[in-house]
Structure formats: C-alpha cells, structure tokens
C-alpha cells in the first residue's frame, strides 16, 4: 500500500505537485495517468525518497521509505530503464543492486530468467535495445520480491509482444496480492492494463476511481447526422428534447436521442438523411476531457482540409 497525504512539491516558482493525496491498494494494477509534465515521475521519486516533498507525507506500508532497512524487499521501482552504466553487464548490474540489500546471487539468475534476459546477461548493457533495458529495469525491481512495485512508463520501447507480456506480468503480480503502480501518458494502454486509475494533471488529482467507472462517467454518446434539410431537422430534434450542436461543416451532433429515433423522426417528416453515425467517445477522449485543461505543452495541428481530418493522437488541441 502506498499513501500520499497532501503532498506538494515546488521547484522554485513552479508547482510540480499541488496538495496531492491518494492511496494505492494491493491486489490491483493501478494506472497512474497524466500528460507529460503532470508530475507522475516526481510523485514516484517522492514516494521512494529521491525527492523531498515541500510539504505532506508519502508512506509505503505505513512507513517513510528512507526509514526502511533493505528497502528493495518492500518496494521495487523502475524509474528510468536507460539509467545504466553502459560498460557493465546486466548480471553485474543486478548483482551490485542485490548485494546492497543482502540479496543472494541465485535471485539475480532468477530475475534474469523471469524477464527473459538469461542469454544476454553477460553482455555489456550499452548494446541493449530500449526494450531489453526495460526488461532489465523490471528485473532490478523484482530482485527483493517486494509487495509493492512501481513502474514509470514501462511500456516505452517494448515491441508488441513485449507489451502483451508486460501487461500479463503486471496482472500476475497484482493477482499475487501485490500493490502495483504503473504510470503512463497513454490512456489506451492503461485501459488494457489497469483495474484502477489515478489521473493527475499539473500536479493535481483529477480522478481516482476504477477504470470502468472512469470510462462510464466520462464517456459521451452522440450521433452525427447529415441532412440537406438540416435546419428543419434541428427544430424537430430540439422539440423532442435532443441537444443539437451544429458543426462548421454543416453536420449535426445530436445527444439525447439515439440513431434509430433520429432516423424515424426524419422519415416521418420526409426529410432525407445522408449520414447517421452513432459515436461513442473513446476512452482517450474521456481522458482528454479530464486532462485537456491541464496540458502544459500544446501542439498545434497542421492545416487540414475543411472536412474532418484525422485526429492526431497525443495533440489535445481542443
């Protein structure tokens, strides 16, 4: 269990974390979501005592991390997979970490096997791909067989097979009753991995709820309608209690009536309908709705044709 109680962190004038409180419980994979710069890494660094909070406390299993003796038996962390000395082999890298916490050599071999690195264990890590470094970071986090595990963006650099593998790995760790906190800036990734989500933006807590609930409470359902007699259709729809938002290109976005009801209504009045598209807001949209206000670095969209262009992932410019 990880508990944050009113944690704030300032870097000079910049407020990185603002009165952040949440609890991460065992037995679940908890997703820790937020746009780049939201404060995810800073939060994790405070939990393991690398950064000192300006105010507030962070506890692991009820104790401050920097008070723990042999902490790797309590908490395993992967912050940055590339934080390695390139000239050292994976085995000696792990051996040095293991030694610092009184962990034996056989456990080093064990975690190398668990993460599929046995065959390359005696190579210098400078030759490793990012995916292999992620596996090595995972191996290091598992050395002490800890009940609490934290991973910062562990999916970066993994191939499709690796991503599937790591998802199952997290679920298995949670199923063993461990506390698993996994950060990501990709909602889609977390939707597949996490049972519970903690969403932050600009250092503030935006949501802390089960994944399913977050989707249900933020998802929007609407219908995209195109018709040559749009103006007439709008008055008919609003008379039935629907909310209609005309789009710049002449399309109508209708909420409050489903596609069948809209189609029947149009047919009853002899109005031709050229498009009738039920739309379900994706999880990504729900996430963008939550964090849209709190994104620090907005990209701009390249100029696009008047019609709906493809929406580029990761550029929440709404």
Partner 1 sequence: MSTVTTGPDPARAATPSVAVRARDLLGCEWTKFRSVRSTYWTLAVAVVTPIGFSVLVASAFAASPPGAAPVDPLLPGLLSLEYAVIAVAVLGVLSFSSEFGTGLIRTTFAAAPRRRAVLAAKAAVTGTVTLIAGEVVAFSSFFAAQSILAGHHLGVSLSRPGVPGAVLAAGVLLCVCALIGVALGAIIRHTAGGIAAAIGVIVLPAIVALLPAPWNGRIGRFALLDAARQVTALHPQPNLLAPALSLLVLLAWPAAALLAASVLITRRDV
140 closest CA partner among 179, 107, 180? 107
Distance from the Cα of residue 13 to its chain's centroid: 27
Least distance between partner 1 and beta carbon 144 (Å): 7
**Of residues 77 and 218, the one with the C-beta less far from partner 1:** 77
**Of residues 68 and 261, the one with the C-beta less far from partner 1:** 68
Instruction: Please say whether the beta carbons of 184 and 34 come within 8 A.
Output: no
**Of residues 60 and 155, the one with the C-beta less far from partner 1:** 60
Least distance between partner 1 and beta carbon 71 (Å): 6
Least distance between partner 1 and beta carbon 63 (Å): 11
Least distance between partner 1 and beta carbon 135 (Å): 15
Least distance between partner 1 and beta carbon 51 (Å): 4
Least distance between partner 1 and beta carbon 34 (Å): 19
Instruction: Please say whether the beta carbons of 252 and 233 come within 8 A.
Output: yes
Q: What angle do CA 165, 170, 173 make, to 5 degrees?
A: 125
As a whole number of angstroms, the distance between CA 218 and CA 199 comes to 13
Q: Where are the beta strands (DSSP E) in the chain?
A: 2-11, 14-24, 29-33, 55-60, 75-78, 148-152, 179-184, 196-201, 204-210, 221-226, 243-246, 252-255, 275-280
Least distance between partner 1 and beta carbon 27 (Å): 6
**Backbone torsions φ then ψ of 140, nearest 5 degrees:** -65, -40
As a whole number of angstroms, the distance between CA 177 and CA 73 comes to 15
**Of residues 81 and 215, the one with the C-beta less far from partner 1:** 81
**Of residues 139 and 234, the one with the C-beta less far from partner 1:** 139
**Of residues 2 and 187, the one with the C-beta less far from partner 1:** 2
Residues near partner 1, by CB under 8 A: 1, 25-27, 45, 48-52, 61, 65-75, 77, 79-80, 82-89, 92-93, 95-97, 99-102, 140, 144-147, 176-179
As a whole number of angstroms, the distance between CA 163 and CA 11 comes to 34
As a whole number of angstroms, the distance between CA 88 and CA 82 comes to 13
**Of residues 102 and 164, the one with the C-beta less far from partner 1:** 102
């Amino acid at each position: 269990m990880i508990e944050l109680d009113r944690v704030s962190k300032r870097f000079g004038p910049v407020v990185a974390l603002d009165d952040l409180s949440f609890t991460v419980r065992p037995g679940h994979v908890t997703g820790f979501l937020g746009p780049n710069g939201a404060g995810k890494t800073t939060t994790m660094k405070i939990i393991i005592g690398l950064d000192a909070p300006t105010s507030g406390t962070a506890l692991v299993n009820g104790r401050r991390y920097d008070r723990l003796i042999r902490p790797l038996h309590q908490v395993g962390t992967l912050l940055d997979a590339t934080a390695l000395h390139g000239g050292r082999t994976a085995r000696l890298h792990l051996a040095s970490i293991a030694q610092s916490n009184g962990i034996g050599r056989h456990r080093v071999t064990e975690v190398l096997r668990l993460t599929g690195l046995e065959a390359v264990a005696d190579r210098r890590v400078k030759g490793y791909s990012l995916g292999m470094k992620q596996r090595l970071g995972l191996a290091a986090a598992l050395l002490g067989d800890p009940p609490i595990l934290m991973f910062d963006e562990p999916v970066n650099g993994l191939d499709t097979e690796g991503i599937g593998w790591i998802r199952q790995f997290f679920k298995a760790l949670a199923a063993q009753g461990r506390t698993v906190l996994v950060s990501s800036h990709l909602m889609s990734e977390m939707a597949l991995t996490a049972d519970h989500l903690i969403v932050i933006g600009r250092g503030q807590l935006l949501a802390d709820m089960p994944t399913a609930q977050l989707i249900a409470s933020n998802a929007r359902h609407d219908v995209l309608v195109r018709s040559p007699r749009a103006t007439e259709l709008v008055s008919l729809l609003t008379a039935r209690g629907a909310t209609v938002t005309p789009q710049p290109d002449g399309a109508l976005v209708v909420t409050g009536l489903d596609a069948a009801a809209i189609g029947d209504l149009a047919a009853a009045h002899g109005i031709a309908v050229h498009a009738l598209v039920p739309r379900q807001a994706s999880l990504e949209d729900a996430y963008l709705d939550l964090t849209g206000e709190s994104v620090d670095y907005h990209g701009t969209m390249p100029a696009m044709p008047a019609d709906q262009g493809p929406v580029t992932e990761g550029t929440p410019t709404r």
